[in-house]
């Protein structure tokens, strides 16, 4: 019964757990900016786009090092961002099509490279396909160190530039007016998204990494109207999802981590949809009932008076 | 030789179905909903598979179409509840896809669906699974795709005018009394159907490439819907034929190569399109300065 608690004793698992929680925390915080800037699906596109970068980094270096992957995926992500921006601004193609286009093209090329690596039969390529859905148990100490450092970096940047990011999320025109380098900040936010995606690849996988950027933020939005509270809540939701996914995946040996993290996040989302204080379904239903009762009272009073007269 | 032709024909059919529907998705700015459907049909396929214990396509198609329509319904529901549209797309499809992946991983020993197949299909095995049709052994996936193609072509052909008006001018459609919601769900149902029947051959994530890339290339090249559909289908078919060749040369994923080739077509359209191409536009912009 308590067998699964044993996983807490293993120091390696503790580190992995810490890394995944921190990953969830930082992507949750970042995701709340992406959500307010209506760029939730950008994370999806960037996550898929990271795959060819990772594959090329592996083909060039021949080692599975998260640092090289970070560089490869970072470059691919930046190219994807520019591609999407270029198509949306300079052609008649709309943003959703540009997203789908870049996402599927990069992913298609990534799959070609991945299968090519697999068929080439070079040593130590096994485990590369774990990047698709993530396998937290396969993380080694150095990966964990990189993950923790990068997540802490993301959090630190978000904390320091909170005011700036807040302003470009709500009113970029005003931000430009008072002299903020809006374009630079937007690019920075995009770059941070790329970093978050890359950090999450080994733990959560490219296919579902987007969910860690989207779902906690949407859930947090149900509870509050303040960005600060929302970012913190979204971070907590993300950390919970990361931790829960990792634990479940470690306890049930074969399951990939990514989908489990996503399901944990979805669980929180459903709770938020139902129980959110003002926007939640229950609150809305209660409000509707109260209004109906109020209305009923108002209608019944004159009727009673009329009957009396 | 025969199997090469069968694989190419299967890919071409999948590409043609997807390109046909992709044109409408692009025009209605719903490309990412296509992406969402192509991911979220996975649990439908797996559940139908677990219930029936076979790869019988009819039940699978039914299950997946139901889930596809549910996806659209959920996205709509959260959007009306105040969630931003792309975030609600993201939440819904990642959740459903995660359920599907976990089901596949849980039952991976019992069923012969594995994660690789989910991602990039197994079009190379298509020729080996045949059904008996008037005495001929017809590959099952090819037959299913042909049927889907027929259904989609007939539905789009019958309601071409309605689809067209709904895509370009929803307000006019409403004024004319065209039931826009019905055609919305009809289109989504067709997209689910196309996704499911292409699923086995090209996989979940690459279906969206088939939906979007050829249609987007055609969108840059021509100005009329009919021409756009024709051209998109042609480009899709060409990508699958050349993509198969590329995969053969590179010894890599066939579906991935098909998408890569369609990407080359798209880049060519982006560069050299007479009206919207980057290069010609640059020249057009320079000409007044010279004169």
Q: ipTM score of the complex?
A: 0.88
Of A93, A115, A262, the CB nearest to B94: A262
Range of the domain at A183: 3-277
Range of the domain at B29: 2-207
Residue B32 counted as domain residue: yes
Of B102, B115, B278, the CB nearest to A260: B102
Residue A120 counted as domain residue: yes
Residue B93 counted as domain residue: yes
Query: Angle at CA B286, nearest 5°, toward B283 and B290?
Result: 125
Any bridge partners for residue A197, and if so which?
Answer: none
Name which residue leads in pLDDT, B64 or A110.
A110
For residue B132, the model assigns a pLDDT of: 65
Of A99, A111, A262, the CB nearest to B95: A262
Return the SS3 of A9: coil
Quick one: DSSP state of residue B54? S
Tens digit of pLDDT for each residue in A9-38? Answer: 677 778 888 889 999 999 999 999 999 988
Q: What span, in angstroms and rounded, lies between the C-alpha atoms of A184 and B244?
A: 42
Residue A66 counted as domain residue: yes
Q: What span, in angstroms and rounded, lies between the C-alpha atoms of A211 and B36?
A: 12
Q: What span, in angstroms and rounded, lies between the C-alpha atoms of B115 and A132?
A: 9
* B252·A96 Cβ contact <8 A: no
State the total domains in chain A.
Answer: 1
Over residues A163-179, mean pLDDT: 90
For residue A172, the model assigns a pLDDT of: 87
* Residue in this structure with the two tokens 């399901």, named with its chain if needed: A263
Return the SS3 of B130: strand
Residue A283 counted as domain residue: no
A94 touches chain B (CB under 8 A): yes
For residue A43, the model assigns a pLDDT of: 86
Residues on chain A touching B263 (C-beta within 8 angstroms): 105, 108-109
For residue B134, the model assigns a pLDDT of: 66
Q: What span, in angstroms and rounded, lies between the C-alpha atoms of B103 and B49?
A: 11
Distance set, CA B28 to CA A114, A269, B167, B176 (Å)? 33, 28, 5, 18
The answer to whether A192 and A180 are in contact (CB under 8 A) is no
Both tokens of residue B97? Answer: 């896809």
For residue B255, the model assigns a pLDDT of: 86
Cβ–Cβ pairs < 8 A, chains A and B: 192
* B97·A108 Cβ contact <8 A: no
At A101, which CATH number? 1.10.3470.10
Residue A290 counted as domain residue: no
Tens digit of pLDDT for each residue in A129-151? Answer: 777 777 777 777 888 888 899 99
Residue A95 counted as domain residue: yes
Rounded CA Rg of chain A: 23
Q: What span, in angstroms and rounded, lies between the C-alpha atoms of B107 and B50?
A: 9
Residue B114 counted as domain residue: yes
* Residue in this structure with the two tokens 């979204």, named with its chain if needed: A234
* A107·B84 Cβ contact <8 A: no
Of A116, A256, A273, the CB nearest to B105: A256
Of A93, A105, A259, the CB nearest to B98: A259
Residue B88 counted as domain residue: yes
Residues on chain B touching A279 (C-beta within 8 angstroms): 81-82
Residue count of chain A, please give it. 309
Best CA proximity match to A204, nearest among A259, A163, A273: A259
Residue A284 counted as domain residue: no
Residue B46 counted as domain residue: yes
State the total domains in chain B.
Answer: 1
> Does residue A307 carry a pLDDT above 60?
no
Interface test with A, best of B27, B84, B85 (most A CBs within 10 A): B84
pTM score, whole prediction: 0.86
Residue B263 counted as domain residue: no
* B220·A91 Cβ contact <8 A: yes
Whole-number percent of chain A with pLDDT over 90: 36
Q: Which residues contact A74 (CB under 8 A, 6 or more apart)?
A: A53, A191, A194, A195, A198
* A133·B95 Cβ contact <8 A: no
The answer to whether B271 and B278 are in contact (CB under 8 A) is yes
Residue A67 counted as domain residue: yes
Per residue of chain B (291 residues), what is the pLDDT tens digit? Answer: 678 888 888 889 999 999 999 999 999 888 888 888 888 888 888 888 788 766 666 777 788 888 888 999 999 898 888 888 889 999 999 999 899 888 888 876 655 556 666 666 667 777 777 766 666 667 777 888 888 899 999 999 999 999 999 888 888 888 888 888 889 889 988 998 888 888 777 776 678 889 999 999 999 999 999 999 999 999 999 999 999 999 889 888 888 899 999 999 999 999 988 877 888 777 777 766 554
* A263·B99 Cβ contact <8 A: yes
């Amino acid at each position: 019964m308590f067998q699964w608690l044993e996983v807490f004793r293993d120091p390696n698992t503790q580190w992995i757990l810490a890394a995944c929680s921190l990953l969830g925390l930082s992507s949750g915080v970042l995701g709340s900016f992406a959500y307010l800037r209506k760029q939730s699906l950008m994370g999806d596109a960037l996550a898929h786009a990271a795959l060819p970068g990772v594959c090329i980094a592996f083909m060039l270096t021949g080692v599975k090092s998260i640092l090289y992957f970070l560089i490869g995926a970072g470059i691919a992500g930046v190219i994807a961002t520019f591609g999407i921006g270029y198509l949306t601004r300079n052609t008649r193609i709309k943003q959703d099509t540009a997203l789908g286009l870049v996402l599927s093209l990069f992913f298609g090329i990534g799959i070609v490279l991945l299968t090519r690596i697999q068929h080439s039969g070079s040593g130590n390529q096994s485990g590369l396909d774990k990047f698709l859905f993530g396998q937290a148990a396969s993380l080694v100490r150095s990966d964990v160190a990189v993950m923790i450092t990068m997540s802490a970096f993301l959090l630190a940047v978000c904390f320091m530039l909170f005011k700036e990011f807040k302003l470009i999320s709500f009113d970029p025109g005003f931000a430009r007016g008072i002299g903020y380098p809006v374009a630079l900040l937007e690019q920075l936010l995009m770059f941070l998204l790329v970093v978050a995606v890359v950090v999450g690849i080994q733990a959560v996988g490219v296919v579902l990494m987007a969910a860690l950027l989207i779902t906690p933020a949407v859930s947090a939005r149900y509870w509050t109207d303040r960005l600060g509270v929302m970012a913190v809540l979204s971070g907590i939701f993300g950390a919970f999802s990361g931790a829960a996914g990792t634990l479940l995946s470690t306890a049930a040996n074969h399951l990939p981590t990514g989908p489990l993290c996503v399901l944990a996040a979805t669980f929180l989302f459903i709770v938020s949809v139902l129980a959110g204080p003002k926007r939640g379904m229950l609150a809305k239903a209660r409000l509707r009932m109260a209004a109906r009762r109020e209305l009923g009272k108002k209608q019944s009073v004159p009727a009673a008076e009329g009957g009396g007269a | 030789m025969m199997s090469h032709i069968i694989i190419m024909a299967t890919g071409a059919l999948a590409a043609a179905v997807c390109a046909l529907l992709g044109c409408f998705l692009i025009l209605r700015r719903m490309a990412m909903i296509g992406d969402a459907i192509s991911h979220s049909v996975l649990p439908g396929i797996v559940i139908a598979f677990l219930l029936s214990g076979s790869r019988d396509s009819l039940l699978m198609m039914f299950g997946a179409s139901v889930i596809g329509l549910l996806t659209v319904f959920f996205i709509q529901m959260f959007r009306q509840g105040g969630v931003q549209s792309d975030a609600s797309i993201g939440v819904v499809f990642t959740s459903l896809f995660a359920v599907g992946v976990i089901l596949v991983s849980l039952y991976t020993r019992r069923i012969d669906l594995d994660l690789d197949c989910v991602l990039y299909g197994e079009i190379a095995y298509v020729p080996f699974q045949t059904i008996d049709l008037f005495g001929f052994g017809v590959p099952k996936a090819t037959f299913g795709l042909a049927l889907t193609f027929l259904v989609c072509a007939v539905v789009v052909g019958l309601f071409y005018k309605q689809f067209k008006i709904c895509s370009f001018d929803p307000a006019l459609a409403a004024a004319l009394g065209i039931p826009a919601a019905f055609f919305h769900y009809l289109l989504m149902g067709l997209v689910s159907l196309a996704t499911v029947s292409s699923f086995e051959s090209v996989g979940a994530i690459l279906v969206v490439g088939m939906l979007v890339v050829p249609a987007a290339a055609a969108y840059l090249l021509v100005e009329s819907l009919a021409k756009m559909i024709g051209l998109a289908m042609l480009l899709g078919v060409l990508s699958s034929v050349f993509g198969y060749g590329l995969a053969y040369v590179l010894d890599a994923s066939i579906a991935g190569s098909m998408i890569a080739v369609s990407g080359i077509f798209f880049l060519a359209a982006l560069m050299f399109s007479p009206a919207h191409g980057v290069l010609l536009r640059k020249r057009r912009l320079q000409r007044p300065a010279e004169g």
